[in-house]
Each structure stands twice: as C-alpha cells, then as structure tokens.
Structure 1
Amino acid sequence: MKKNDLFLALFITFVWGINFSFIKLGLQYIDPFILSGIRFLLCAFPFVFFIKKPDIKFKYIFSYGILFGVGLWGIVSLGIYFGISAGMASLILQMGVFFTVILASLLLNEHISFIKKIAFAIALLGLALIISVTDGSITIIGLILVLIGAISLSFTNIIIKVAGTKNLFSFMVWASLFSPIPLFILAYLTGGEIVFEQFIENLNPTGIFSIAFQVYPTTLLGYYIWNSLIHEYPISSVAPLGLLVPIFGIAGSHFIFNEQIGDMKLIASTIIIIALMINTFGEKIYIKYKKGV
C-alpha cells in the first residue's frame, strides 16, 4: 500500500474511533434518536439529488438503511446515552465481526473454520470480563444495546455481500433516505414532542459539531475512502487496519472524557483485540505454518 493511502486508512480508523466520543458529546444536548436521525438526513440530502441511485434491488437499499441507521447507530447511540462509555462502545461493537461470521454460515452457507471458532470463544471471554468492570463505564442496558447494534452491523455486512454493489458511496447516500423517519418516530414514541422542542432549544456549537462530524468525515468521507481503498488493494491489506478503531475509540474516550483504563478493562480489551487478530490473521498464519512443516 502506498504511503499516502496508508495514511488515509489510518486517518479513517482514527475518525471512526473518536466518533464514539463525539456521539457522546452530542448526546449531552440531543436525544439519541434525533441525533442519529439528523445524521442520516444530512447523509441523504442534498446528495441524493445529484448522485445516481445504485443499480441494485430496492429491498437491499431499504433494508440497509433501516439496519444501518436505526438498528446500528440509533441503538448504539441509545446505548451510550444509557451509560456505556464511548471507549467500551467502540470495542464491544467489534463483536459484529464474529456475528457476521456466524450469519454468513447460517445464511450464505459459508464454512466457519476451527480458528474462527476459537477466536469467537476468546472474544466471549473478553466480553465476560467487561461485564465485571465496576468503574461506571459499563451499564448492563448499555452493553445489551451495543450488542444489538453489533448484530445489526453483521446483517448490514451480509446485505453488502449479497447486493454486490460496487458504488458504495451511492449506496450509502440512497440507503440513508430510509433511516431518518423511523428514528424520528422512535424519538417521538420514547420522548414525545418535547424532545423535538428541546432539540431546537438546546442546539449549540457542540451539538452541531457532533452532527457534522458524524455526517461528513465519519459516514460519507470515511466510507468513501475506505471502500475506495478496498477496491484499490486486496481486502487482506485494508481490513486488518480496522483493528485500530477500538484502540482509537478507547484512547479518545480517555482524553476527552477522562475514561479510566483500569487493569480489568485493559485485560478484557486486550483479549477481544487478540480475538479479532486471530479471526483476521489466524488462518493465513496456520496455512503458512503447515506449509513450513
């Protein structure tokens, strides 16, 4: 990978990591469903008027928009709102990698290797240790909500795989059309009209920055650059860099919100990251070892 492209990839993982902290900043002033709804409203408009609809079945665009906008980011934002720290949310969401492997096996008949099963078991151990953290950065409801987000993430990965679209920027813009209305409905059902009134009253530079950061560098620019790199280079060269997202997420939460990184949290985070590394590199290393033997 060229140095400039490597820098871009590292920059995007940094953006995706600290985005969790900027979501939390926005949640100090904005309802979680409204925050996510505005995010995807601005992802769709005005771009949808200038970008051609991707040439794939409508059901893929619609289902991705619901799962990505509502099931993933709407629910993850709600989880952060209910007390899970930005750093832990960025880490736990990586469980979506393992859920994707399981879904691919169930829906696409893809084989789950023994090494991937070992990686998943190790990740579950790390998740169990996270539950035992008592420094206030983990709440059970927040943990459950982020895990639901991770499951939604796995479904979006399957949709991308099945849809087979190559123009993922166009796909993201058009799919975002179907996220805002369900999110605004959820905001109304959970908070009533007052949450919309409070949004207007409480909107300030911090809230505007939170929304803008989620829309432009995180969603539109981030996915455009990342998917461009995947088209330019082998997936095996690009995808592993995603392992840096939770590292940047935890670091960002530490510096922005002074989230404490105690021994138990450090051990649990290390175990999950090791599991992700085994899932990503394990089979290749094993194959090289067998050839060497």
Structure 2
Amino acid sequence: MTPAHLALAVLTTVLWGFNFVMIQVGLQSGLPPLLMAALRFMVAAIPVLWLPRPKIPWRRLVAIGLFLFLGQFALLFTGMAAGMPPGLASVVQQSQAFLTALIAAAVLRERPSARAVAGMAVAFSGLALIGTTAGSGGMTALGLGLCLLGAASWAGGNVLLRGAGSSPGGPVALMAWLGLVPILPLLGLSLAIEGPAAVGAALAGINLSGVAAVLYLAVPSTLVGYGIWGFLMARYPATTVAPFALLVPISGAASAALVTGESFGAARLAGMALVVAGLGVGALTLPARWRGRDRAPTSR
C-alpha cells in the first residue's frame, strides 16, 4: 500500500471513530435519536439524484437497507441515548465482525476457522467484562443491550451484502441508494415513539451543534468514509484493507476521551483490550511462513 493510500485508510478509521462522538453531540443538542438517524439518511441519500441505482433487485436492496442502516442505527442511536458512552459504543459495535461470522455460518454454511473461533471467544469475554460495569460511569444495561442488537443488525446486513454485486456508481452510490430505505421507517418510528410534539420542537429548535452532527454523520462518516473504503478495497486485497477497521474502536475511544472527557476504568479498559485483541486474532492474516502452525498436524 502506498503512503498516500495508507494515510487514506487511517483517515477513514478516524472518521468512523469520531462518528460516535458526533452522535453524542447530536443527542446532547436535543435531537431525539430516531429523528437524528432519519435526518442523517435524508442527507446521505441526496446523491441518488445523480448516481445510478446499484444492479441489485429492489427486494434485496430494501432488505440490506433495513438491516444495515435502519436496524443498526435505530438501535445504536437509541442505545446511546439510553446510556451508552461513545467510546464504549465504538468498541461494542465492532462485535459485528464475529456476529457476521456466526450468522454466515448459520445461513451460508460458512465454517469459521479455528483462529476465528478463538478470536470470538476472546472478544466476547471482553464484552462480558464490559457488561459487568453496567450501571456505572454513564453506561446502562439497556444501552449496552441495544448497542449489541444494533451490531447484530449490522452483521445481518453484511451477510445480505455478500454476493449482491457491485454498483456502477461505486460504493458511494450503493450507500446513497441504501440510505433511501430507512428514511420513512425512521420518521414513522420517531413520530410513534418520540412523539409529534418532540419531533416538531426538535426541528424548530435545532441548533448549530445538531446541524453539525447530522452533516458529519451523513457526509464524512457515511459518504466519504465508505467511498474511501470502497476505493481501497477495489485496489488492494481485502486482507490488506480490512484489518484497518481494528483502529476504529481505538480512534473512537481516544476521540471520546479527548472531546467528551469519557473515562473508562480498569475493568472497561481490560474489556476493550480483549475485544480489540479478539478482533485481531480473527481478522489479521498470518504471514505465509507461519500459516503451517495454524493448521492441525497431520498423521504420517
């Protein structure tokens, strides 16, 4: 990978990590979580006006959008509003990597490798350790549970994306068209759950912090981040690009500590370290000279 492309990969992880801080900014500005998610996709979907529709059947496009965007972000935003600090949320969301493997094993009959299973065990032990701290430091069991369900929805969207084909407009076009799917459901859920009065008051009183949060979530996080990711994926092997996602929880936790002053404590830091270590065990590819050690010995 060239230095310029390496810098782009790192930039993407920073954009995605800071995403969680901006969700918190939007919530603190007074935007209800479901309404904020709807506004995010209303902006992110604007490029459909000039970008071609992906060559994906409508039924599959809608199904992907429901899991990848509606379920994931409705649950994540609501979970953070219910008591999930941004730094911890950035770590917990990465459990989608192993949930994707579990769903793929059940639905697509893909057997995870021994290293992937070991990585899952390490990561889930970290999540369990984080779970023991619920009720302190701004985190609630409800917030943690909703964020885990959001990660599971993301995982379901990942499996649906498998074999969906490429978009003639590239990854930005795909994300924009998928962004059309959750807009009306999110608006409907917002009116039903958060209430017309709260929605109207939030829209009438939206401030610069709320506008900045929505624009950041829609443009740098969704369109720019996924656009760079797709650009790199088209030029390098997935095994070269994918491990950079391991930096997202690190940049998310660092951003939360620097911007919001979030502190983690020994148990949470240990749990976060286990999650990142588990992701590394399952996602990173061993050098060729080591791969023989990853296989069970054969009898002679």
Into which bin does the TM-score normalised by the smaller protein fall?
A: over 0.9
Q: Which stretches in structure 1 are left out of the alignment for 5+ residues?
A: none
For residues 246 and 131 of structure 2, what CA distance do their matches in structure 1 show?
21
Partner of 2:220: 217
Partner of 1:159: 160
Matched, 1:25 2:25: yes
SS for the counterpart of 1:238 is: helix
SS for the counterpart of 1:15 is: helix
Contact 2:45–2:180 (CA<8 Å) still a contact in 1? yes
Matched, 1:176 2:179: yes
Contact 1:137–1:259 (CA<8 Å) still a contact in 2? no
Per-residue CA deviations over 1:248-282 (Å, capped at 9, x if unaligned) read 11111111111112111111111111100000126
Partner of 2:45: 44
Partner of 1:73: 73
1:44 Cα deviation (Å)?
1.1
Contact 1:30–1:198 (CA<8 Å) still a contact in 2? no
Q: After the TM superposition, which of the residue ranges 269-278 and 127-136 deviates more from structure 2?
A: 127-136
What is the number of residues matched between the two proteins? 291
Identity %: 30
Q: Normalising to structure 2: TM-score of the pair?
A: 0.93
Partner of 2:291: 287
For residues 55 and 290 of structure 1, what CA distance do their matches in structure 2 show?
39
Matched, 1:102 2:102: yes
For residues 282 and 165 of structure 2, what CA distance do their matches in structure 1 show?
23
Contact 1:41–1:179 (CA<8 Å) still a contact in 2? no
Residue 72 and residue 78 in structure 1: after superposition, are their counterparts in 2 closer, same or farther (change >3 A)? same
Per-residue CA deviations over 1:111-140 (Å, capped at 9, x if unaligned) read 112221111111111111101225423210
1:288 Cα deviation (Å)?
4.6
For residues 192 and 214 of structure 1, what CA distance do their matches in structure 2 show?
23
For residues 109 and 44 of structure 1, what CA distance do their matches in structure 2 show?
34
For residues 52 and 124 of structure 1, what CA distance do their matches in structure 2 show?
40
1:283 Cα deviation (Å)?
5.8
1:206 Cα deviation (Å)?
0.4
SS for the counterpart of 1:203 is: coil
Q: After the TM superposition, which of the residue ranges 189-198 and 9-18 deviates more from structure 2?
A: 189-198
Q: After the TM superposition, which of the residue ranges 129-138 and 217-226 deviates more from structure 2?
A: 129-138
AA of the residue aligned to 1:154: A
Please tell me the root mean square deviation across aligned C-alpha atoms, in Å.
1.6
1:75 Cα deviation (Å)?
1.0
AA of the residue aligned to 1:255: L
AA of the residue aligned to 2:186: L
For residues 245 and 31 of structure 2, what CA distance do their matches in structure 1 show?
29
For residues 175 and 212 of structure 1, what CA distance do their matches in structure 2 show?
17
